[in-house]
Amino acid sequence: MKSYLCLENGSTFTGEVTWDADGPVQGEIVFFTGMTGYQEVLTDPSYKDQIVVFTYPLIGQYGVNEDDFESEKPQVKGVIMLRSPELYSHYHATSSLKDYLLKWKIPFMTGVDTREVVKEIRNAGSQNACISHTKTLPDKKKHTGQIEQVALSHIRKLGHGDKHIAVIDFGVKKSIISSLVKMDCQVTVIPYDQLDVLDQLNVDGLVLSNGPGDPKDMMKYLPALKEKMLKLPTLGICLGHQLIALAFGGDTERLLFGHRGANHPVIDTESGEVFITSQNHNYVVNRDSLDGTGLKPRFMNVNDGSLEGLQHANKPILSVQFHPEARPGPEDASWIFEHFYQSIKQPGREKMYA
């Protein structure tokens, strides 16, 4: 059925929608540039309430399997594609992409000129959008409360290792936890609003997870987080990176259209090495806001010069804007987890990262 994708600024695009929703669907529209990884994108909690435009022209060709979910269900509000095939082929696949989206009542549009949509987002920025059978402009209100919807409400324990890591859950991806467990670590996932539990646990390290939305929505939790970070080796990933900056007195700002894809080049300013990363974020840390925080830039985006990671001057605290677990994406940055693990094994908490 013919339908419309209407952006907040009045731009309208037509396509065909497969619909199983009650009325128009609204969300923030963003685009993802990877050729594969659509299953991980759809279930990544950081995409909560967003309408995702896939730039690659053919999405769904290898179906959906039971192994590559990043959470229990899709988190997106809608999906925009040029084409999605009825037939799929992969030995792990258990259903088509279309059937998966229908199962969860996620509307998806095909036949859309995704190139034109992406051009509009790049020029005008990420904004609200609406999928509807009629030309319906979306509300201009800011989406809030996504973290509360995706974070765990209970403590969860996984793995059986010598080192005990606490993951503060703001919408953590399954693959981040899996990466820690594979290093022979015991992992306790703690909801962001239950930080007092840390006083009862004997943990060796702290991970601040990824998550959706504006990091400043978590400001009231930052004093308690900073207290814990000063005592424990800490790794922040994506939203967690931004929260570390805010906790130490830095600032964050919104990008025009964010970074979402599996091909973002990042340079390590210490080694000079450039590696390709997977990213998904709207907000970045303002480099000029770091004076007096004890934090210094460690990683930079080669394309636009934005800040991609921090380290503390004299505490074992490291943060990355990109996703070292690389689901989806290249594994160039997977060494970040080993780097963090080695900091836990160091006898002195005051030591810097090498």
The model's pTM: 0.95
Domain 2-132: CATH architecture, name and number where available: 3-Layer(bba) Sandwich (3.50)
**Side chain identity, residue 241:** H
Q: So what's the pLDDT on residue 163?
A: 96
Query: CB 91: neighbour CB atoms within 10 A?
Result: 7
What are the boundaries of each domain within the chain? 2-132, 146-345
Interatomic CA distance for residues 226 and 206, integer angstroms: 11
**Side chain identity, residue 18:** T
Interatomic CA distance for residues 289 and 251, integer angstroms: 6
Q: So what's the pLDDT on residue 142?
A: 86
- Which tens digits make up the pLDDT trace of 220-260? 999 999 999 999 999 999 999 999 999 999 999 999 999 99
Note whether 201 and 35 are within 8 A (CB).
no
| Helix ranges (DSSP H) in 37-94 | 38-43
Q: So what's the pLDDT on residue 348?
A: 55
First-to-last alpha carbon distance for the chain, in angstroms, is: 58
- By the 10 Å C-beta count (0-12 exposed, 13-18 middle, 19+ buried), 114 is classed as buried
Which of 234, 187, 206 is closest to 352 using CA atoms? 234
| CATH class, range 146-345 | alpha beta
Q: So what's the pLDDT on residue 41?
A: 98
Contacts of 331 (CB under 8 A, 6+ apart): none
Known catalytic residues? Answer: 238, 323, 325
Burial annotation 29-41 (CB, 10 A radius, 16+ → b, else e): bbbbbbeebbbbb
Q: So what's the pLDDT on residue 354?
A: 35
Interatomic CA distance for residues 285 and 260, integer angstroms: 16
Q: Give me the residues of the chain with pLDDT under 70, please.
A: 21, 347-354
Interatomic CA distance for residues 225 and 228, integer angstroms: 5
Q: So what's the pLDDT on residue 347?
A: 59
Q: So what's the pLDDT on residue 18?
A: 87
Q: So what's the pLDDT on residue 239?
A: 98
Interatomic CA distance for residues 320 and 311, integer angstroms: 9
Number of helices (H) and strands (E) in the chain: give both, helices first: 8, 17
